[in-house]
Amino acid sequence: MNTTLLSRRAVLLGAATLSSGLMLGGATGALAADYPTRPIRIVVPYSAGGLTDVLARTLGERLTQRLGQPTIVDNKPGGAEQIATSMVAKSAPDGYTLLLSTMTGLAVNPGLYGPRLQYDPNKELTPVALVGSVPSIVVVHPDVPAKTMAELSTYAKANPGKLNYGSAGNGTPSHLAVEYYKRQNGVDAAHIAYKGGAPALQDLMAGNVQMMIAIAPEALPMVKSGKLRALAVTSHRRLATAPEIPTVQESGAKPLDASFWYAFVAPAGTPGEVVGKLNAALNAVLQEPAVRTRLAELNVEVGGGSPAVLVEQVRTDAARWKKVIDDAGIKID
């Protein structure tokens, strides 16, 4: 049975989800017992040096040890992951081309771009494994008189038009997360879009915007240095590297899970035995003490599990973020 990312029902519902049945079938051809016999390419939809790239290289090195073949990281940034994803979707379904995708590529883009999306995750990709997730942190400029999420909501309601928030760009997770918070808590804030998380955080430190929900690896150094104030983390539990920061719910707001996750996918039609072998190898790598230590240093919460875990992650987030996109009227020009 061919493996595909999205179920027909999910398409009709307008949510980009991974079909729950796609990973359970057999190989489309002969058994792949001898896989792999040559190098495996890991395509990364972002530039070298970023967290996605670091994850690909860290995990790729360990996969080389376990599978006995080199892994080659190929950076293909641009188009909000569309360039890399389109290339992988059109690659041979033989297990030798993988994509280290993210929540953006699998769960957000389908609802954001609709029919203009350059790839069809319903038909062109198959899940391999959820790698892990990175919590976000609600940060404010030190001049904002709020030390908790409850105080932030009170301040925003009492000072309409005074609270601006930055994001890494229109439709990015840092944009969607604040829109979700606004609707959950009945507050308002004006959106200022930047070309990436780094310039948005720079402007936040300069006081040109007042708040942001940024991924932990980017925001924590500025919090630790006192240049920004952290109000809460968006995960269900506190960060091991910053246990003093409460969760959003602990800080007085409705729960907000704005974690940014990473996952391996392959072209649709990749034999089930190959997917199974890759999934088993990745799960073993994610349990290695050295890998877990490295991921903890990067504030990455380890994922793993069967492809079905990734299926459910995409299904849940696709529906949630599609609603935020529609409710906020977010458009991509």
Q: What is the pLDDT of residues 222-258, one digit of tens each?
A: 999 999 999 999 998 999 899 999 999 999 999 898 8
Question: What is the CATH superfamily name and number for domain 8-134+259-328?
Answer: Bordetella uptake gene, domain 1 (3.40.190.150)
User: How many C-beta neighbours within 10 Å does residue 213 have?
Assistant: 27
Where do runs of H (alpha helix) occur along the chain? Answer: 8-13, 51-67, 82-89, 103, 109-113, 149-158, 173-185, 197-206, 216-224, 272-286, 289-297, 307-328
Residues 300/128/167/13 CA torsion (nearest 10 deg) = -130
8-134+259-328 and 136-233 agree in CATH topology: yes
- List 266's β-bridge partners, or say none: 126
The answer to whether residue 126 scores a pLDDT higher than 90 is yes
- pLDDT tops 60 at residue 164: yes
Res 24 pLDDT > 80: no
Average pLDDT, stretch 199-207?
A: 96
Q: What three-state secondary structure class fits 54?
A: helix
User: Distance from CA of residue 45 to its chain's centroid?
Assistant: 12
Where would I find the H helices in 186-259?
A: 197-206, 216-224
pLDDT at 5 over 80: no
Q: Give the closest residue to 138 by CA, choosing from 235, 261, 233, 239.
A: 233
Characterize 229-246 residue by residue with b for buried, 16 or more Cβ atoms within 10 angstroms of its Cβ, and e for exposed. bbbbbbbeebbeebeebb
pLDDT band at 18 (very low <50, low <70, confident <90, very high): very low
- Mean pLDDT lowest among 17-31, 75-89, 105-119: 17-31
Domain ranges of the chain: 8-134+259-328, 136-233
The CATH homologous superfamily for domain 136-233 is: Periplasmic binding protein-like II (3.40.190.10)
pLDDT at residue number 13: 32
Q: What is the pLDDT of residue 161?
A: 86
List 139's β-bridge partners, or say none. 212, 230
